[in-house]
Amino acid sequence: MARYMAEQSDSTFLADVLKIALGVFIGSLLAAFVYTKYMAWEMNRALGQVNTALTKETQRMWSETNQSIQRTERATQQRTAAEQIEKDRISEQVRQRQIAQQREAELDARRQVAWERYYQPSAGCKADSSTMACANAFMAAKKRFLEQYQD
């Protein structure tokens, strides 16, 4: 090695050192560039995975929200339908009750007309209906009328 060094001049030695230093520097720059590109690629890949995961999660949340809205709407529609059915049932009951009351009133009116045609008090009871005999005659006639009367 000493012979090698002795044969070389200082200028070529410095040129060789400079070449080596330049090679190391360029190699370091290339390594830094490759490392930077690799890190950028890793970052893009990670961001892509995060973006995909966020997209899936967002879609899942929208799906759940839509399902919840649909369930709420169905429940509201069912409740509204049940309320309408109940209102209709109550309305029908009221209508049936009114019809029954009207029939009863008509029956009572016909019965009263028939009673007035049936019962003719005596002349003494027409003058004073507060006597016991008139009251008994009225009650007996009413009983016979109700036993015979059919509508």
Flag the least confident range among 60-64, 66-70, 113-117: 113-117
Q: Are 118 and 141 in contact (CB under 8 A)?
A: yes
Q: Identity (one letter) of the amino acid at 25?
A: F
109: nearest Cα among 138, 137, 151 = 151
Is residue 125 within 8 A of residue 81, CB to CB? The reply is no
Most confident option among 67-71, 130-134, 135-139: 67-71
Tell if the pTM clears 0.75, that is, is over it. no
What is the number of other CB atoms lying within 10 angstroms of the CB of residue 36?
A: 10
How confident is the prediction for the chain on average, in pLDDT? 90
Q: How far apart are CA 143 and CA 151, in angstroms?
A: 16
What are the residues whose beta carbons fall under 8 Å from the beta carbon of 145, sequence distance 6 or more? 114, 115, 118, 119
Does residue 31 have a pLDDT over 70?
A: yes
Domain ranges of the chain: 8-92
What's the pLDDT score for residue 5? 53
Q: Model confidence over 71-111: pLDDT tens digits?
A: 999 999 999 999 999 999 999 999 999 999 999 999 999 99
